[in-house]
Structures are given as C-alpha cells and as structure tokens.
Amino acid sequence: MKHAIAGVLLATVPIGVAAQETAFTTGLATVVNPGLFDCGPNSRVSAVGKVVSDDGTVWTVPAETHYGTVPFAADLFNECGGDQFESLAELDLESVPLLDAGGREEFTAYIFADNYFELYVNGRLIAGDPVPFTKFNSNVVRFAAERPVTLAIMMVDWEENLGLGSENNRGKAFHPGDGGLVAHFKDASGVTVAITDDSWRAQTFYTAPLNDRSCLVVDGPIRDSSGCSEAGVDDATGFSAAHWAVPPDWMMPSFDDSIWPSAATFSNDTVGVNNKKAFTNFEDLFDTPGADADFIWSSNLVLDNLVLLRKTFD
C-alpha cells in the first residue's frame, strides 16, 4: 500500500513509527573501543565506533550494546576459552545459572547467533553473547518467567570496517558479511515453547554498506535494501550507511511490534553453518524433527546489521 490515501495510511501506520526517519552516514566510523573481546588468532576484532550522520546525530556502530555489563550466556560451544560440548548430552543443564525474568516457571533457550545477541525476557535484559564477532559460538540460557513470555533479541552482524558493514574477506577489503539467528526455547519438561520462524517480528536499525543511497526503499516500517549491491569491493570511497533510532521500549511486552515486518527465514546453507561446530554439534536442537527452527533476520541477511527480533508465546 505504498501509495495508499492518507486516511488508510494513518489507520495502519502509527504516526510515531511512520515518522521515524532514516539517517545516512558516509564512510568509516571513528574507533571508540579497539575491541570488546580478544579471542586470539584466527578471530576478528570486535571494535566499536562512532559516526556522525548528515543531521549531526552520533551513531554507535555496529551497535550500542551492554557487552560486559550484562551476564554472559553459558556456553554450548565457545572456542574462545569456554566450554566446547560435542553434543547436548555433555551439557549439565542444572549447572547453568537460572536467571530471574520476573516469574517462577523455568525455561531454557538454546541460541546460535551470527554474530552477537542480547536476550530480553519480558522486558528484562538477562544475558548476552560472550563472543561479539568470531569465532562462532553457541549458548544456553535458563530463566524463570511468567507467561505470556515476550522474547526480544537484539542481533548484531558485527563488522571489521566500522560504519561500512563489511570485513576483509573473500579477497575483498570491503566484503559485506551476513547475519542470522537460530534458537529453540523449551519449558522445564523439555516441551518446545518457541522456535525461530516467520512468526517472529523483525526490524533493521542499521543497514550497510550502501554504494548508492537511492537503492534503499523506505516505506513506513518497510526498510527494503533488496535493490542494493552486496558485492565486495576494494575501494568503498563514498559508500554510505543507513541508521534508524532504536525505540527505547522496543523490548517491553507492551511495545506494539505489529507494525514490524514478519521475520524472514533462511536455510542452514544460506547462512553457511554446515562447517561450524557451534551449530553442527547441536543439530538435534536447531533442526529438531517437528520443531525445526529456521534462521531468521530482517529482509536483508547481508546488509541489515542491527536487527531487533520479537516473539511472544503463551
């Protein structure tokens, strides 16, 4: 309904959301943290930067996180000095801390995030990913909450070229990497209560690199970069990024996510996890027959780098 008459548009798009403007930045950010965490050789540097948009607003890239102030999620597989279970059978679930999400019913979340996640349950930030960039890791989180349970996950596809959503890879200095989240949530008796699928809502708040700003189509809550190039380049001079302010209450149960698009789903092959033990050691969790969790993201797995995801289950 791109060209809907005003009355129809007002009926479907709350004014505050419709008015959320796209801010553009050009070029690399200034480094403000040279690395949140060092996983050693053969891993990428998880630096953080700041970049100023044309309107004077300062943006943190790839995202403003709570790394270091939120408890780390327990490991399923972490080659950066953590546990490296060969299978779920090696996990002693009772040893995983039970986190308080304001209720008494116990749940367990199993998460593989490319690259970084923060998990909110019923509005409370309860756990974060211990490894912001690489190597690829996976996690388990136990929490106690009251139904209905609103899951809200901040996902960051981390970047090496701060502000330009890319990394030195595949022979190109500015190769846009991809993201992806797969997760399985169970109750205390082991029954599936949620899996990542297209019933989640997803919105992007940082899209880069853009070799041409006009390739991005913004229409109310739709932030469509499908017309933008995903090709790696050696010279990104003049490339841009698009940013949107994160609503402060985005993780609250009361937040109306009906305006956000449904999450897009992606296969294991598309995300490229078949050679990653953090995923393959736990295929029985992430590819469970009858409860096969999809990889989810906003509409562009490659160019959308800060993606907020939500799902409520009863």
In the list 161, 209, 305, 306, the residue contacting Ca ion (rule: CB under 5 A) is 305
Question: Total residues at the site for Ca ion (CB under 5 A)?
Answer: 13
Mark residues 239-278: x for contact with Ca ion by CB under 5 A, - for none.
Answer: ----------------------------------------
Mark residues 166-205: x for contact with Ca ion by CB under 5 A, - for none.
Answer: -----------x----------------------------
Q: Number of helices (H) and strands (E), helices first, in the chain? A: 5, 22
Give the span between the Cα atoms of 225 and 145, in whole angstroms: 37
* Apex 179 CA angle, 256 and 298, nearest 5: 30
To Ca ion, the closest distance from the beta carbon of 53 in angstroms equals 19
Task: Note the Cα 9 to chain centre separation in Å.
Answer: 29
Amino acid at 261: P
Give the span between the Cα atoms of 249 and 247, in whole angstroms: 5
Give residues 88-117 in contact with Ca ion (rule: CB under 5 A): 114-115
Residue 212 dihedral angles phi and psi, to the nearest 5°: -155, 115
Give residues 272-301 in contact with Ca ion (rule: CB under 5 A): 286-287, 292-293
Mark residues 133-172: x for contact with Ca ion by CB under 5 A, - for none.
Answer: ----x-------------------x-------x-------
CB distance 63 to 156 below 8 Å: yes
Q: Which two tokens stand for residue 253?
A: 């149960």
Give 102's DSSP letter: S
To Ca ion, the closest distance from the beta carbon of 113 in angstroms equals 5
To Ca ion, the closest distance from the beta carbon of 45 in angstroms equals 14
Give residues 24-63 in contact with Ca ion (rule: CB under 5 A): none
To Ca ion, the closest distance from the beta carbon of 245 in angstroms equals 20
Q: Which two tokens stand for residue 114?
A: 């490319």
Cis peptide before 209 (omega within 30 of 0): yes
Site residues (CB under 5 A) for Ca ion?
A: 114-115, 129, 131, 137, 157, 165, 177, 286-287, 292-293, 305
